[in-house]
Amino acid sequence: MSERGLLRVRWRSGVGEMSIVASDAASGSPGVTALTATLEGEESVGRSALRWCPDALREGLAALTVDDRASLRLRAEEGCAIEVPEGVTVTRWGDDAALVNFAGRIGESWVGLRRGARAERLAVHVESPLLPGREAHRVMVDDLLAESLALAGEGPSETALTHARDAGGARRLLVAWLLRSSTLERAMALVARAPLRGAAAVQRVVPWLLARRVRMEELASNPAVARGDDPSQVRVRAEEPALLVDTPENRAVASLLRTVSSVMSDPDPPPALAEALSEVLSLADRVGLRALRPMGAAPTLAGSRSPGYRELTAIARWLDGLAVADDPADAAARLALDDSALLYERWCAREVSRALGLPSTIAPGQSRPCSLDGVALRLWCQPARAAVPSYGLAFRPDLMVEAEGARVVFDAKFRADAQGAIEKMHAYRDAIAGCVGAYALMPCAPRESVTLRAEGGGGVGVIALRPEGGGAEEERRAALRGAIAAALASVRGRSPGPAAPRG
């Protein structure tokens, strides 16, 4: 492995020291853009020249930027344990060494050191070489969360985008999505079904003969005992064992519910969200969680792994991360690491839907009517379409547009191999009955878009679809409408006219 294929850094924190060796997970040579480091106080001059240092000690190391191919080999000094967030692929050698891999995931993450109760974290931003920088990830997350807010009844997505530009708005946007999608309700239902309970001694007044533990002071001050009454008739205050819901885990749930209620209180939520919030709170009241005091002791590891509690713990971390985000513009992008291919696929589905004038994406297996240039269409999401007899297999493209028996399919491909994507599109066009056009949606530059006309009309190709802000939405959607119009027009024997602009 060549020296230029590595970045070796020793990170010194207030907790201890960690050595970090970064390399490409596949080839061992990630290239000059695969990993950079940012030093505190150097924001004005851009990225530090910390690339491929042989063995640098950096006390002021503030963050690492890693592409999704890189793996980090971490080793902590004696007495320190390495910590990584959930969802990151990690192989451990004891507490002091680990191999961390971010393959296929982008977003914000961290690696940390712990010594007893003290812990510090080093921020790690993971990006794909296909979409370098933070903007692309933020645009996709903003767009999808804004759509969720719009579906909850708070207005169009373009207006909702402004709410994601500060931490408070981003928290409300996230809570609205959690309520609308029933994510919060499902997690709360699991907790209400089997709440964690802790053993405790509770003072109760019980018959003396049935009491398990009675203090001598209680007997000495009891008038019935002093009078010599029949012991079967004497009632005393005793300590009885009981299982209570007053545990650190349930207090954490109560704190989360207070936060959710507070976030949605100003302004008042629309009826659909208010009803969903009421259902969540009623589930908590069923087992008496909302009456608990604010969280004191930290939740246990067993609690974070229990059904329902695991999901609620993740939600609390999301909301806390949005509340303390140091850069408000990045608030909505700080949710977690995302599966890059899946995130891009969902974002592409949103773009095609909006290009055809639909307010939101469609559930898999479902369809919705739409139109383009006065032609009635139907958009399908992940339809199962039988192949022609020579194939004998069912093909399931991400999206399919139908018009009078003719079909145009789109498939999101988060990759750089345009040739391989075009070959897949040929397979779609040949195998799906009535398919006149098949296009791969890829995060490439616009100049790399290509359309190959097929004999008999229609064609296959690649359409560049990059998540960029700054007013690029209409340009992207016009390209999608143009591809659909061209494919459908070619089989009708007429040349396509310009696609009508749509918002």
Higher pLDDT, 49 or 459: 459
| pLDDT > 80? residue 203 | no
Q: Tell me which amino acid residue 136 is.
A: A
| pLDDT > 80? residue 63 | no
Q: Tell me which amino acid residue 444 is.
A: C
The mean pLDDT value for 402-412 works out to: 90
What pLDDT sits at residue 108?
78
Count CA atoms within 13 Å of residue 391 on its CB side.
15
Least confident of 55-64, 114-123, 413-422, 448-457: 55-64
**From CA 404, how far away is CA 406, in angstroms rounded?**
6
| pLDDT > 50? residue 305 | yes
| pLDDT > 50? residue 48 | no
| pLDDT > 70? residue 334 | no
Tell me the two tokens of residue 40: 């505190």
Q: Which of 123-137, 170-184, 389-403 has the highest mean pLDDT?
A: 123-137
What pLDDT sits at residue 41?
43
What percentage of the chain carries pLDDT values higher than 90? 12
Of 172, 141, 171, which is closest to residue 154 (Cα–Cα)?
172
| pLDDT > 90? residue 356 | yes
The mean pLDDT value for 452-481 works out to: 81
Of 438, 437, 439, 450, which is closest to residue 489 (Cα–Cα)?
437
Least confident of 126-135, 247-256, 300-309: 300-309
What pLDDT sits at residue 34?
43
What pLDDT sits at residue 102?
80
What pLDDT sits at residue 462?
92
What pLDDT sits at residue 318?
67
Q: Tell me which amino acid residue 235 is.
A: R
Least confident of 176-185, 296-305, 335-344, 418-427: 296-305
Whether cis (ω within 30° of 0) applies to the bond prior to 443 is no
pLDDT band with cut points at 50, 70 and 90 for residue 414: very high
Look over the chain and give the mean of its residue pLDDT values, rounded to a whole number: 74
How many other CB atoms are found less than 10 A from the CB of residue 94?
Answer: 9
Asked whether 246 and 291 are in contact (CB, 8 A), the reply is no
pLDDT band with cut points at 50, 70 and 90 for residue 86: low
The mean pLDDT value for 430-444 works out to: 89
What pLDDT sits at residue 45?
35
Characterise 210 by phi-psi region: left (phi > 0), alpha (psi -120 to 50), beta (else): alpha
What pLDDT sits at residue 2?
35
The mean pLDDT value for 52-56 works out to: 43
What pLDDT sits at residue 457?
60
What pLDDT sits at residue 206?
73
Q: Which domains does the chain have, with CATH numbers?
A: 3-127 (2.60.40), 135-195+247-336 (no CATH), 341-491 (3.40.1350)
DSSP string, 472-503: -HHHHHHHHHHHHHHHHHHHTTS---PPPP--
